[in-house]
Amino acid sequence: MKARGKILTLMILSSSAVTTTAFINKIIKIKATKNNSLDQQKSHFFHWRLGDIYYERVGTGKPVLLIHDLNAASSSYEWNKLIPLLAENYTVYAIDLLGCGHSEKINTTYTNYLYVQLITDFIKSEIGHRTSIIATGESASIPIMACSNEPSIFEQIMLINPLDLSEYCKIPGKRARLYKKIIDFPVIGTLLYHIAVSRDFIESEAKKHIFYNQYCITPEWIDAYYEAAHLGVSPKSIYASQRCNYTKCNINNALKKINHSISLIGGAEIDNITERLEKYKDLNPAIETAFIPETKYLPQLENASALNELIKTYF
């Protein structure tokens, strides 16, 4: 009887802990999304086979597709300072990738191939013309692989601070697969995700790695990224996939065979950025590089006008 009583007590305590954690998760999500920091006034939706894809379309001229960094807190908000400048000369499409921002966030394993299919289908369905692409960070692998598969739908490609080529070669290991399974747990996994994308963590990353000019780290920027990380049904799915290398893809062979114009833009204040981009030129000598002074990971937010001038030069 005593053993049964202890088991019953543990079950009650466990149930209480799960209920409390679920309640905490719900409160975090409500607080993160209550300010509606991500503007939807110019919104369109591409009804893709795996979910609705949010995008903006402004301006006139040759089409340019903007692809934000592949990160749970990223969205097309990344381009909000550049879009008005580009719209003077181009028809600008700024997309929220599946699993990010206002796009649908399904519970699945996100892969590079999934995003290659998304971008290819989006260009064919929503743009309908050969398109130039600008992509940031880990998302740089998406247009490279897409262009390698279907070169006829692409014009120029610009990559902003792409990862080191060795980073794209990483594959999920045993620890990564275990971590993803833990994150996939409904309650405790969600709590771990909320800790990983907390407001304090986002601000800390901005100070250390994203911005050179600390005055760019405004409360509005933090609110937008914090909100993006909590919108939707399963925002943690893209986080788990990206952190565990399911979104990675070796792009070396694709870089070698692409004949399109490719330009790489680096934030000049990133450590070893010159050496990183030179590795791309080793694979494809036709690649051109340029650097924007006094910027780090997101020059489109730190010095949009300088980036706009480079885009006009290369495009």
Q: How confident is the model over 90-99, as pLDDT tens digits? A: 999 999 999 9
Task: Return the pLDDT at 42.
Answer: 65
Residue 66 is encoded by which pair of tokens?
């903007």
pLDDT tens for each residue of 115-126: 999 999 999 999
pLDDT at 16 over 60: no
Contacts of 108 (CB under 8 A, 6+ apart): 50, 237
pLDDT at 17: 53
Q: How far apart are CA 29 and CA 191, in angstroms?
A: 11
pTM for the full predicted model: 0.91
Query: What percentage of the chain's residues is helix, strand, coil (to nearest 5)?
Result: 50, 15, 35
Residue 133 has pLDDT above 80, yes or no: yes
Query: For position 250, what pLDDT does the model report?
Result: 97
pLDDT at 266 over 90: yes
- Give the tens place of pLDDT for each residue, 205-219: 999 999 999 999 999
**pLDDT at position 7, please?**
40
Packing angle, helices 219-228 and 2-33, rounded to 10? 130
Distance CA(191)–CA(185), nearest Å, equals 9
Q: What is the pLDDT of residue 186?
A: 84
Reply yes or no on whether the pLDDT at 107 is more than 70: yes
Average pLDDT over residues 99-104: 96
- Angle formed at CA 160 by CA 95 and CA 197, multiple of 5 degrees: 65
- For residues 246 and 281, what is the distance between their CA atoms, to the nearest angstrom? 26
pLDDT at 190 over 50: yes
With contact defined as beta carbons under 8 Å apart, do 216 and 50 qualify?
no
Q: Note the pLDDT of residue 130.
A: 97
Is the separation of the CB atoms in 254 and 145 below 8 Å?
yes
C-alpha Rg value of the chain to the nearest Å = 21
